[in-house]
Every structure is written in C-alpha cells, then in structure tokens.
Amino acid sequence: MIADLAIITPTQRWLIGLIPLLLVFWFLFPALGLYIQARVSGAPIGSFGIVGLYLRKAKPRTVVTALIQSTRAGLDIPCRDMEIQVLAGGDLMACVNSLIAAKHGGMPLTWDHVSAADLVGKPVFLLVTAEIETGRLDPSVLAIGPKARPVEAAGF
C-alpha cells in the first residue's frame, strides 16, 4: 500500500487534494452568489442561513430577494418568517410588496396579518393597493375568520 503511494507524483497528489475542494465549491457556489448579493445590499442573513435555505428547499433566491427588498424599504421581517411563508405555499413577494405599499400609504399592517391572509388565499397586494387608492386605510380588509370583510366588498 505504501509502495503504491510512492508511485503518485506530487502533482497528482495536489490534484487529488483539489477534487474535494472543487466539489465543495460546486455545491456552495450558488449560495456564495446569494450571500454576496445579500451582504452588499445590507440584508441580515449569513452564509449558513443561505445554505440552510438550500437544504430545506425554501426557494433561496426568492427569500433573499424579498429580504433585500424589505430591508431596503425599512421593514424588519425576519428571514425565518419569510422562509415559513414560502414553505407553507404562500406568495412571499406579494406579502412583502403589500407591506411596502402599506408602509408608504400609511396603512397599519403587520407581517402576521398579511401572511395569514395570503395563506388563506386572499389577493393581499390587490387588496392593500385598493385600500390605499380609496383612502380608507382599513387593515380589516385582510382579516380572516367569521368577522372578516368579504373580498367582494373591497371591489374584487
């Protein structure tokens, strides 16, 4: 066995050692690009967080894009909440855009209201923009449960 190692040249040993590094880089390269994009934009997510998104199959590009967009708009939405929204089958970008529109329109909305309304099937972005355009600014348009205002009452 030791005699066989003597046959391998130093260049071959270097190449054999390089193969595992190339494999690790191959798997982490997409995460590296997202990490650089998030870090440059000021979004609070680490490299292991992005790798975790890949491992949990939580659409990492969508989550990072939404995180960047919400951070730049001044919203404080945790990455974990965004990941939960994606894994639950919600429309993450509609929720983030709704919160941004509500913030700029002066409508008091929280992430919990928007994400819950999205997960029950309400068109959150359309409802929020319609409320802002009419000037009502009533967050009950996204309410769910027996006391919820019907979507038809909002003009849809």
Summarised one tens digit per residue, pLDDT across range 13-47 is: 888 888 888 877 777 778 888 999 999 999 999 88
Who contacts 38 (Cβ-Cβ below 8 Å, separation ≥6)? 45, 50, 64, 67, 68
From the list 100, 154, 77, the residue with the least C-alpha distance to 123 is 154
pLDDT tens digits, 55-84: 999 999 999 999 999 999 999 999 999 999
From the list 104, 155, 112, the residue with the least C-alpha distance to 130 is 155
Token pair 């994400």: residue: 115
Burial of 84 (0-12, 13-18, 19+ CB in 10 A): middle
